[in-house]
Amino acid sequence: MTTATWLAFSIATLAATGSPGPNAMLVVRNTVRHGLYAALFTVSGNLCSRFVMASGVMLGLSALLNASPWLVIGLRLAGALYLIWLGIRAMRGQGPQAAVTHVTPHVRQPCLRIFLEAATVSLVNPNTLGFFAAAVPQLVDLHTPILPQLATLIAIDTTVVLTVMSTYAFVTHAVHRRITSHSRLMMIRRGGGAALVIVGLTMLPLR
């Protein structure tokens, strides 16, 4: 495996991760609602799911999905509906902060709950699985040990995703701290919910 090949994978990962999608929108939403600590567990859940998907592709998961198109449709539908549900909850103000009538410090949520939510969003996102399914077969050399290649792939993917998502979180946190009006805070939170709904709608398997 050449350095140029891994560099190309790094650039492709950066491009795919940098464009706003379900995972990025969830990082933004959780940072606004719960603070930077929530972004940490959101990104951790995302990375855990990406590890599972990359490993699955190497073990032949992409071949199974190619042979069963209905699995892909089901995955897309589940992911779309889950994101729409999360977005509607955010827009309706449901959750621990719904009854807050003035600006208060972030209410901490269970770390495991945030982690599992992020992991679920990532797992049901067919775009991430499609990215690995397209990239991994071109990267892996079947004539050399698989585990070192998987370790390298995961290390590159983790570094890029962590950098991009941390940027989303810190920028969101910086902007959020400058806004003290409760009405504007609620507008931002509902805007984040609307973004999740829009992303979910674009994922619906309508064709």
Averaged pLDDT, 71-96: 68
Averaged pLDDT, 166-184: 78
Contact 124, 118 (CB under 8 A): no
The answer to whether position 10 is within a domain reads no
Distance CA 68, CA 65 (A): 5
- The pTM of the full predicted model, rounded to 2 decimals, is 0.68
Domain count, the chain: 1
Q: Does 207 or 191 have the greater pLDDT score?
A: 191
The answer to whether position 4 is within a domain reads no
Domain hosting 112: range is: 22-203
Distance CA 114, CA 124 (A): 16
The answer to whether position 40 is within a domain reads yes
* 108, pLDDT greater than 70: no
What was the pLDDT predicted at 46?
94
The answer to whether position 12 is within a domain reads no
Which candidate, 141, 128, 182, places its Cα nearest to that of 17? 128
pLDDT grade for 34, boundaries at 50, 70 and 90: confident
Averaged pLDDT, 72-81: 71
Can you count the helices (H) and strands (E) in the chain?
9, 0
Q: Rank 33-47, 83-97, 103-117 by mean pLDDT and report only the highest.
A: 33-47
The answer to whether position 181 is within a domain reads yes
* 68, pLDDT greater than 60: yes
Name the H helices within 19-68.
Answer: 22-34, 36-58, 61-67
The answer to whether position 133 is within a domain reads yes
What was the pLDDT predicted at 166?
93
- The rounded mean pLDDT for the chain is 76
The answer to whether position 13 is within a domain reads no
The answer to whether position 2 is within a domain reads no
Question: Tokens for 116?
Answer: 């599992």
Contact 95, 204 (CB under 8 A): no
